[in-house]
Amino acid sequence: MKTFVVLFSLLALTNAVSREFVENFMNKLQEVGEKCAEETNATDDDVAALIAHTMPESHNGKCMILCFNVAFHLQKPDGTPDKEGSIASLEPLKADDPEMHAKVLKIFMTCGQKTAVDADPCMTAAHLAECATLEGKAAGLSADMFEV
C-alpha cells in the first residue's frame, strides 16, 4: 500500500483532488490491498505499516508494495518500472485535476529514472516507494488528500 499509499502515499496530495476521485481511489486501493495481502502473505503488521505510511520491515510487506505497483501498472512483475502503464494509470487523475496530474507524473518519471532495478523486484518496489515519498514531499504533496 505504501506505494500507493505509496504511490499515493505517493499521491500524498493536496485537497485539490475531488472527493469523488479520492473515494473511488480508496475503494480500489482497499480491493487491491486485500488481494495483495493474501497473495504475499503480508502480516497485519505489514499492512499497518503501509497504512501508517511507513516501510514494512518484512520482505513480504515489501512484496505487497510490488503487488500494488503491478496492479496499478506502475511496475512490471520483474520489478522494472512500467512507464506506459504509469502514464495510462494516471489518466483519471488528469481528468480530475490536471495540475496534480502533472506533479504526480513528474514524481513517477523521476523515481523511475532514479531508482535502480534490484535483482529482487520487491526491493525495487520498496525503493520506488521511498523515492516517491521523498519526491512527493519535495513537491509539497501530503497524505491529507486521502482523508475521506
Q: 145: buried, middle or exposed (CB in 10 Å: 19+, 13-18, 0-12)?
A: buried
Q: Is residue 65 part of a domain?
A: yes
Instruction: Pick 26 or 65 by higher pLDDT.
Output: 65
Q: Kindly report, residue by residue over 61-111, the tens digit of the pLDDT.
A: 999 999 999 999 999 999 999 999 999 988 888 888 898 899 999 999 999
Q: Helix, strand, or coil here: 1?
A: coil
Q: Is residue 146 part of a domain?
A: no
Q: Is residue 136 part of a domain?
A: yes
Domain count along the chain:
1
With a CB cutoff of 8 Å and minimum separation 6, the contacts of 19 are: 148
Q: How far apart are CA 53 and CA 39, in angstroms?
A: 21
Q: Is residue 145 part of a domain?
A: no
The model's pTM:
0.83
With a CB cutoff of 8 Å and minimum separation 6, the contacts of 76 are: 70, 82, 85
